[in-house]
Chain A
Amino acid sequence: QKEVEQNSGPLSVPEGAIASLNCTYSDRGSQSFFWYRQYSGKSPELIMFIYSNGDKEDGRFTAQLNKASQYVSLLIRDSQPSDSATYLCAVRYSGAGSYQLTFGKGTKLSVIP
Protein backbone atom coordinates (compact mmCIF):
# COMPACT_ATOMS: atom_id res chain seq x y z
CA GLN A 1 0.00 0.00 0.00
CA LYS A 2 1.59 3.24 -1.15
CA GLU A 3 1.06 6.03 1.35
CA VAL A 4 1.78 9.73 1.16
CA GLU A 5 1.66 11.64 4.42
CA GLN A 6 1.29 15.36 4.94
CA ASN A 7 0.57 17.46 7.98
CA SER A 8 -2.99 18.69 7.40
CA GLY A 9 -2.31 22.04 9.06
CA PRO A 10 -3.46 24.69 8.95
CA LEU A 11 -0.05 26.24 8.58
CA SER A 12 -0.20 29.96 9.17
CA VAL A 13 2.63 32.27 8.10
CA PRO A 14 2.82 36.07 7.90
CA GLU A 15 2.99 37.73 4.51
CA GLY A 16 6.57 37.84 3.24
CA ALA A 17 7.72 34.86 5.30
CA ILE A 18 8.90 31.46 4.08
CA ALA A 19 6.33 28.67 4.16
CA SER A 20 7.69 25.15 4.50
CA LEU A 21 5.49 22.21 3.50
CA ASN A 22 6.55 18.64 4.08
CA CYS A 23 5.63 15.24 2.71
CA THR A 24 6.79 11.69 3.35
CA TYR A 25 6.09 8.64 1.25
CA SER A 26 6.21 4.95 1.94
CA ASP A 27 7.27 3.32 -1.33
CA ARG A 28 11.02 3.41 -2.01
CA GLY A 29 10.29 2.65 -5.67
CA SER A 30 8.68 6.05 -6.11
CA GLN A 31 10.36 7.99 -8.86
CA SER A 32 8.48 11.23 -9.51
CA PHE A 33 7.23 13.81 -7.05
CA PHE A 34 4.78 16.61 -7.62
CA TRP A 35 3.38 19.55 -5.74
CA TYR A 36 -0.09 20.77 -6.62
CA ARG A 37 -1.97 23.75 -5.25
CA GLN A 38 -5.71 23.44 -4.75
CA TYR A 39 -7.98 26.34 -3.94
CA SER A 40 -11.24 25.47 -2.25
CA GLY A 41 -13.66 23.87 -4.70
CA LYS A 42 -11.15 23.96 -7.54
CA SER A 43 -8.94 21.43 -9.27
CA PRO A 44 -5.29 20.67 -8.46
CA GLU A 45 -2.90 23.02 -10.21
CA LEU A 46 0.64 21.84 -10.84
CA ILE A 47 3.29 23.96 -9.15
CA MET A 48 6.45 21.90 -9.41
CA PHE A 49 7.81 18.45 -10.03
CA ILE A 50 11.10 16.91 -9.01
CA TYR A 51 12.70 13.62 -9.99
CA SER A 52 16.25 13.77 -8.58
CA ASN A 53 17.65 14.21 -5.11
CA GLY A 54 18.43 17.79 -4.16
CA ASP A 55 16.76 21.11 -4.73
CA LYS A 56 14.84 22.50 -7.67
CA GLU A 57 13.93 26.16 -7.80
CA ASP A 58 11.24 27.89 -9.84
CA GLY A 59 10.61 31.50 -8.95
CA ARG A 60 9.47 31.73 -5.33
CA PHE A 61 9.12 27.95 -5.07
CA THR A 62 11.79 25.40 -4.18
CA ALA A 63 11.17 21.67 -4.11
CA GLN A 64 13.54 19.49 -2.13
CA LEU A 65 13.84 15.72 -2.46
CA ASN A 66 15.65 13.24 -0.24
CA LYS A 67 15.00 9.72 -1.48
CA ALA A 68 17.04 8.10 1.29
CA SER A 69 14.74 9.66 3.88
CA GLN A 70 11.66 9.32 1.61
CA TYR A 71 10.97 12.97 2.12
CA VAL A 72 9.97 15.78 -0.21
CA SER A 73 9.30 19.38 0.71
CA LEU A 74 8.13 22.63 -0.82
CA LEU A 75 9.41 26.02 0.25
CA ILE A 76 7.49 29.16 -0.69
CA ARG A 77 9.52 32.32 -0.30
CA ASP A 78 7.98 35.77 0.15
CA SER A 79 4.58 34.22 0.85
CA GLN A 80 1.60 36.16 -0.42
CA PRO A 81 -2.06 36.04 0.69
CA SER A 82 -2.83 34.59 -2.76
CA ASP A 83 -0.70 31.57 -1.81
CA SER A 84 -3.35 30.62 0.75
CA ALA A 85 -4.59 27.24 -0.46
CA THR A 86 -4.22 23.53 0.18
CA TYR A 87 -0.95 22.09 -1.10
CA LEU A 88 -1.06 18.51 -2.30
CA CYS A 89 1.96 16.27 -2.49
CA ALA A 90 1.68 13.56 -5.14
CA VAL A 91 3.98 10.64 -5.81
CA ARG A 92 4.28 8.43 -8.86
CA TYR A 93 5.77 4.98 -8.59
CA SER A 94 6.28 4.34 -12.33
CA GLY A 95 7.05 0.69 -11.85
CA ALA A 96 5.58 -2.14 -13.94
CA GLY A 97 3.63 0.28 -16.11
CA SER A 98 2.06 2.11 -13.20
CA TYR A 99 1.67 5.82 -13.82
CA GLN A 100 -0.96 6.76 -11.30
CA LEU A 101 -0.41 9.55 -8.82
CA THR A 102 -0.86 8.83 -5.12
CA PHE A 103 -1.87 11.99 -3.28
CA GLY A 104 -1.49 13.06 0.30
CA LYS A 105 -4.40 14.69 2.09
CA GLY A 106 -2.82 18.09 1.65
CA THR A 107 -1.58 20.85 3.92
CA LYS A 108 -3.75 23.94 4.24
CA LEU A 109 -1.64 27.09 4.12
CA SER A 110 -2.89 30.42 5.35
CA VAL A 111 -0.80 33.54 4.64
CA ILE A 112 -1.73 36.33 7.01
CA PRO A 113 -1.51 39.89 5.56
Chain B
Amino acid sequence: EPEVTQTPSHQVTQMGQEVILRCVPISNHLYFYWYRQILGQKVEFLVSFYNNEISEKSEIFDDQFSVERPDGSNFTLKIRSTKLEDSAMYFCASSPTGTTEAFFGQGTRLTVV
Protein backbone atom coordinates (compact mmCIF):
# COMPACT_ATOMS: atom_id res chain seq x y z
CA GLU B 1 0.00 0.00 0.00
CA PRO B 2 1.40 3.43 -0.90
CA GLU B 3 2.56 5.50 2.04
CA VAL B 4 4.12 8.81 2.90
CA THR B 5 7.75 8.40 3.95
CA GLN B 6 9.77 10.83 6.04
CA THR B 7 13.45 11.10 6.80
CA PRO B 8 15.13 11.22 9.20
CA SER B 9 13.01 9.60 11.90
CA HIS B 10 14.88 11.54 14.58
CA GLN B 11 16.99 14.66 14.26
CA VAL B 12 18.95 16.32 17.04
CA THR B 13 20.26 19.79 16.35
CA GLN B 14 21.82 22.62 18.25
CA MET B 15 19.91 25.82 18.80
CA GLY B 16 20.53 28.24 15.96
CA GLN B 17 21.27 25.58 13.39
CA GLU B 18 19.28 24.93 10.24
CA VAL B 19 17.49 21.63 9.65
CA ILE B 20 15.82 20.13 6.62
CA LEU B 21 13.11 17.55 7.06
CA ARG B 22 12.35 15.40 4.06
CA CYS B 23 9.17 13.75 2.84
CA VAL B 24 8.14 11.65 -0.12
CA PRO B 25 4.38 12.01 -0.56
CA ILE B 26 2.20 9.32 -2.12
CA SER B 27 2.95 9.41 -5.82
CA ASN B 28 -0.41 10.39 -7.32
CA HIS B 29 -1.29 12.92 -4.61
CA LEU B 30 -1.39 16.59 -5.48
CA TYR B 31 -1.67 18.30 -2.08
CA PHE B 32 1.10 18.21 0.49
CA TYR B 33 1.12 19.39 4.08
CA TRP B 34 3.34 19.80 7.10
CA TYR B 35 1.94 19.52 10.59
CA ARG B 36 3.69 19.47 13.93
CA GLN B 37 2.85 18.07 17.35
CA ILE B 38 4.62 19.31 20.44
CA LEU B 39 4.80 16.58 23.08
CA GLY B 40 1.47 16.21 24.84
CA GLN B 41 -0.27 18.75 22.64
CA LYS B 42 -2.53 18.60 19.62
CA VAL B 43 -1.51 18.27 16.00
CA GLU B 44 -1.11 21.73 14.46
CA PHE B 45 -1.21 22.75 10.82
CA LEU B 46 1.85 24.50 9.45
CA VAL B 47 1.52 24.77 5.67
CA SER B 48 -0.12 23.31 2.59
CA PHE B 49 1.45 23.12 -0.86
CA TYR B 50 -0.17 22.67 -4.23
CA ASN B 51 0.97 23.18 -7.79
CA ASN B 52 4.49 24.08 -6.63
CA GLU B 53 3.46 26.87 -4.35
CA ILE B 54 2.21 27.46 -0.83
CA SER B 55 -1.58 27.48 -0.81
CA GLU B 56 -2.08 28.18 2.87
CA LYS B 57 0.02 28.68 5.98
CA SER B 58 -0.63 29.12 9.67
CA GLU B 59 0.63 31.77 12.04
CA ILE B 60 3.26 29.30 13.21
CA PHE B 61 4.78 29.20 9.71
CA ASP B 62 6.78 32.41 9.89
CA ASP B 63 9.95 33.49 8.07
CA GLN B 64 11.90 30.85 9.96
CA PHE B 65 10.19 28.15 7.91
CA SER B 66 10.19 27.37 4.22
CA VAL B 67 9.03 24.51 2.04
CA GLU B 68 10.21 23.26 -1.29
CA ARG B 69 9.53 20.54 -3.81
CA PRO B 70 12.99 20.26 -5.34
CA ASP B 71 12.09 17.43 -7.70
CA GLY B 72 9.11 15.32 -8.67
CA SER B 73 9.08 13.23 -5.52
CA ASN B 74 10.53 15.04 -2.50
CA PHE B 75 8.86 17.69 -0.34
CA THR B 76 11.01 19.41 2.25
CA LEU B 77 10.54 21.61 5.29
CA LYS B 78 13.46 23.84 6.20
CA ILE B 79 13.70 25.42 9.63
CA ARG B 80 16.31 28.16 9.89
CA SER B 81 17.95 29.14 13.15
CA THR B 82 16.16 26.53 15.25
CA LYS B 83 14.88 27.39 18.71
CA LEU B 84 14.25 25.18 21.71
CA GLU B 85 10.50 25.55 21.19
CA ASP B 86 10.80 24.04 17.71
CA SER B 87 11.28 20.66 19.37
CA ALA B 88 8.31 18.56 18.22
CA MET B 89 7.19 15.75 15.96
CA TYR B 90 6.86 17.01 12.42
CA PHE B 91 4.45 15.16 10.20
CA CYS B 92 4.22 15.34 6.43
CA ALA B 93 0.89 14.46 4.86
CA SER B 94 -0.52 14.22 1.37
CA SER B 95 -3.95 13.94 -0.20
CA PRO B 96 -5.20 13.28 -3.72
CA THR B 97 -7.20 16.51 -3.74
CA GLY B 98 -7.76 19.34 -1.30
CA THR B 99 -11.03 17.94 -0.08
CA THR B 100 -10.20 14.27 0.40
CA GLU B 101 -8.55 12.43 3.24
CA ALA B 102 -4.94 13.17 4.15
CA PHE B 103 -2.43 10.41 4.89
CA PHE B 104 0.37 11.05 7.30
CA GLY B 105 3.98 9.94 7.27
CA GLN B 106 5.57 8.35 10.32
CA GLY B 107 7.01 11.69 11.43
CA THR B 108 10.38 13.19 12.25
CA ARG B 109 11.12 13.86 15.89
CA LEU B 110 13.11 17.08 16.04
CA THR B 111 15.01 17.77 19.23
CA VAL B 112 16.69 21.17 19.59
CA VAL B 113 19.33 21.30 22.31
Contact = CB atoms under 8 A, between A and B. Distances in A.
A34 B101 CA distance: 8
Given A43-B91, A92-B99, A97-B55, A103 B104 contact: no
A19 interface: no
Given A101-B33, A103-B44, 19 more contacts: A32-B99, A43-B89, A43-B104, A43-B105, A43-B107, A46-B101, A97-B56, A97-B98, A99-B31, A99-B48, A99-B56, A99-B95, A100-B33, A100-B45, A100-B48, A101-B35, A101-B43, A102-B45, A103-B42
A67 interface: no
Question: What size tier do the contact residues of chain B reach?
Answer: 20 to 34
Question: What size tier do the contact residues of chain A reach?
Answer: 20 to 34
Nearest to B43: A103
Given A97-B55, A100-B33, A105-B42, A31 B99 contact: yes
Nearest to A44: B104
B112 interface: no
Contacts of B95: 99
Contact of A46 (B31, B55, B98, B103): B103
Contact of A99 (B41, B43, B99, B105): B99
